[in-house]
A and B are shown apart, each in its own frame.
Chain A
């Protein structure tokens, strides 16, 4: 909004131009002194300086002092991207005593020196950019940031360890948290693990207390078996719709006694148990695992004989002494309002079938690392017994690293956790079976506290490590000792030989990749993805848990592969960012909204159809358009569409842009 006490437009424009060397980042490719000298000749420029580091205190003080000494009323800083230091220089401008929006940044580093090969052309380009900035800043007017209240609740999407940690941190700080989880229970991948590396803590022992705390916390509303289906609004004021799928169980009545599961008409499991990655079958009525939170069973309508329209004894109904089964239940949509959103939607593992030459799905004794994880768990389908699908206890196991990862045919990235997870499984498999363990690796990547030491321990304990990418897993025996074995063929790049290693069991260390529906979730919350499909942080170092959308934060593997300690730390950081947003109670909104110049508006309503947020309404009496600044997000689409030129956008007004276009092109 244009404030009344702003700079008087009739006043003489006095511009200060400041160009930064950024050490050698800019100065090595751009002759900054020459650009400064050039800028001095531009109309309105009163003072022009270059300085080693404009963003340093001394650099900022230069601006502050010059504003006072030269009565400057416009500032242009030619330096890095406005994404980095626009705030810094606006604040410095304000400290100098003038409105912060009278400052403009010209990006001569990211768009200039860093992409330039030739110093002469880079300097000329910088001059043109400087002239564009000087041209536009003349039109700048004083603006005020609007304050909006912030709702004191947070939505956490995803109930894995990241979501759990973020939710608990926020809830303990006194904020109300809605934790939405797609599966029937929270816990995520960590709940499926047996032990955690490198300490070999029992995963359940450290996770389940946190899960119960979530379930019973007075500040947490836990909606498992639910999905976010819609989100709208803006920082501090998001409106979210959550679909709560029908469990066919009265949640208030169910105690999780499992009597209904016991008495289901199906005496054994009929469908792959998702929690045990298909190693066993489950019944249509089930609980993912005994420590599930919420501790409530769920009925899968696709396989339940009654719900899928078949004949059924309905023996589960009388089995429940609390009459909790409710076959008439339908899904509900809840609407909530939150101030911030933490996205912690996790990952999926690489589908090993995409590497057909490793034989997953063809040879029964080829497993994924997640399947072994379930198998070695004492509460798992085999109660901790390691047996191959053919009933043998393996005497030798080959663990293939980097399945799907570090591979230009599939996923180029390193999944970060598989080396350590494979070492852990090597340890556990040896402990459970006494088998010979062969690790096939490209590089061992064990950076982390106690990780390298764990690797050394495994080396000392007589595990075999063979360096080389496995070419093939086959059952084609070429020698007598290979009969009835799976043979792992690999080029041992340390000895230079092609080896054939016969084993009883093959474990594929499958990598981490984005969830299949990551792009749906991304659009739901208006956030971006990096190339590989993980959600994009605002800045990898300066804002690693923030996104380009204010008030939406990231935690866990949805942002990129990471292990449990890093995930927990990141989730804490995301919770802290959300707290920092919520705690002041208000948020300052960028002033780049659009407004209507009433005298010029003809009331044609063209703009109304353009606005994606319904921020523009029609004043029937005055026959003009009215823009609600609370709803306007400042895209400027209506401004471009107005046939009368009646709509203006703060900071991006027509005249500012026309002048920038003209001036940026004026320098040859």
Chain B
């Protein structure tokens, strides 16, 4: 392992646009930061906000969502549903003290391998600058503050959902 800090980005890519763009970036041998862990979903509309919370809770430093451009969704408008959820969730996460750079939604079409590379590199650079999130610990102190009477065991349960 290199001694430089490598953030971990959980990337939810929709099957038709961004996952295909990532394939294209590969086929075109574009080099980008080895920070992403891609989870494929059929549509960005499939992304349950809980997935994003879970990713942070399990140690992701950032979450990247890639979907089709508005109007281009393979399922007509799943990406718009995703956008709505994303906006609310991002606001919540910022209130919780998570920097807005750590959660990013990008429209990347199947032909935009170059954009995919740019986005991943830019986000990786942002996360390197911010440093590790370490949410499991952060949540623990947050919970301790808000719910002083909660036992450590219960906090642990919150951290690990689901």
State in angstroms the CA–CA spacing of A306 and B47 once bound together. 58
Judged by a CB distance under 8 angstroms, whether A270 is at the interface is: no
Judging by beta carbons under 8 Å apart, are B26 and A81 in contact?
A: yes
Judged by a CB distance under 8 angstroms, whether A641 is at the interface is: yes
Q: Which residues of B contact A523 (CB under 8 A)?
A: 71-72
Judging by beta carbons under 8 Å apart, are A116 and B31 in contact?
A: yes
Interface residues in B118-134 (C-beta closer than 8 Å to A): none
- Closest CB-CB distance, B62 to chain A, in whole Å? 11
Judging by beta carbons under 8 Å apart, are A132 and B46 in contact?
A: no
Bitwise interface map of A from 253 to 283 toward B, beta carbon under 8 Å scored 1, else 0: 0000000000000000000000000000000
Bitwise interface map of B from 18 to 48 toward A, beta carbon under 8 Å scored 1, else 0: 0010110111011110101111111101111
Judged by a CB distance under 8 angstroms, whether B142 is at the interface is: no
State in angstroms the CA–CA spacing of A641 and B75 once bound together. 15
Judging by beta carbons under 8 Å apart, are B46 and A639 in contact?
A: yes
Interface residues in B35-77 (C-beta closer than 8 Å to A): 36-43, 45-51, 54-55, 58-60, 71-72, 74-77
- Closest CB-CB distance, A134 to chain B, in whole Å? 14
Cβ-defined partner of B37 (8 Å) among A129, A636, A649: A129
Judging by beta carbons under 8 Å apart, are B55 and A661 in contact?
A: yes
Task: Name the CB-closest residue of A to B16.
Answer: A548
State in angstroms the CA–CA spacing of A654 and B39 once bound together. 12
Q: Which residues of A contact B103 (CB under 8 A)?
A: none
Judging by beta carbons under 8 Å apart, are A81 and B23 in contact?
A: yes
Q: Which residues of A contact B110 (CB under 8 A)?
A: 528, 536, 548
Judging by beta carbons under 8 Å apart, are B34 and A636 in contact?
A: no
Q: Which residues of B contact A132 (CB under 8 A)?
A: 37, 39
Count of interface residues, chain A, beta-carbon cutoff 8 Å = 52
Judged by a CB distance under 8 angstroms, whether A531 is at the interface is: yes
Judging by beta carbons under 8 Å apart, are B109 and A528 in contact?
A: yes
- Closest CB-CB distance, B32 to chain A, in whole Å? 5
State in angstroms the CA–CA spacing of A318 and B6 once bound together. 84
Judging by beta carbons under 8 Å apart, are A657 and B41 in contact?
A: yes
Q: Which residues of A contact B36 (CB under 8 A)?
A: 111
Judged by a CB distance under 8 angstroms, whether A121 is at the interface is: yes
Judged by a CB distance under 8 angstroms, whether B1 is at the interface is: yes
Cβ-defined partner of A652 (8 Å) among B26, B42, B76, B77: B42
Q: Which of A115, A610, A612 has the most CB of B within 10 A?
A: A115
Q: Which residues of B contact A665 (CB under 8 A)?
A: 8, 10, 37, 55, 58-60
Judging by beta carbons under 8 Å apart, are B74 and A661 in contact?
A: no
Judging by beta carbons under 8 Å apart, are A635 and B1 in contact?
A: no
Judging by beta carbons under 8 Å apart, are A125 and B37 in contact?
A: yes
Q: Which residues of B contact A497 (CB under 8 A)?
A: none
Judging by beta carbons under 8 Å apart, are A531 and B112 in contact?
A: yes
Cβ-defined partner of B10 (8 Å) among A548, A633, A664: A664
Cβ-defined partner of B75 (8 Å) among A530, A635, A652, A657: A635
Q: Which residues of A contact B72 (CB under 8 A)?
A: 523, 528
Cβ-defined partner of A633 (8 Å) among B30, B55, B75: B75
State in angstroms the CA–CA spacing of A107 and B25 once bound together. 13
Task: Name the CB-closest residue of B to A83.
Answer: B23
- Closest CB-CB distance, A535 to chain B, in whole Å? 11
Judged by a CB distance under 8 angstroms, whether A526 is at the interface is: yes
State in angstroms the CA–CA spacing of A548 and B21 once bound together. 13
Judged by a CB distance under 8 angstroms, whether A181 is at the interface is: no
Interface residues in A446-502 (C-beta closer than 8 Å to B): none
Judging by beta carbons under 8 Å apart, are A661 and B48 in contact?
A: no
12 A-B contacts (beta carbon < 8 Å): A114-B26, A115-B25, A115-B26, A121-B34, A530-B111, A612-B78, A635-B46, A654-B48, A657-B39, A660-B39, A661-B10, A665-B59
Report which B residues bind A (CB closer than 8 A).
1-2, 6, 8, 10, 16-17, 20, 22-23, 25-27, 29-32, 34, 36-43, 45-51, 54-55, 58-60, 71-72, 74-78, 81, 85, 109-112, 117, 162
Q: Given A120-B1, A122-B34, A654-B48, 4 other A-B contacts at CB below 8 A? A: A529-B111, A635-B74, A649-B46, A666-B59
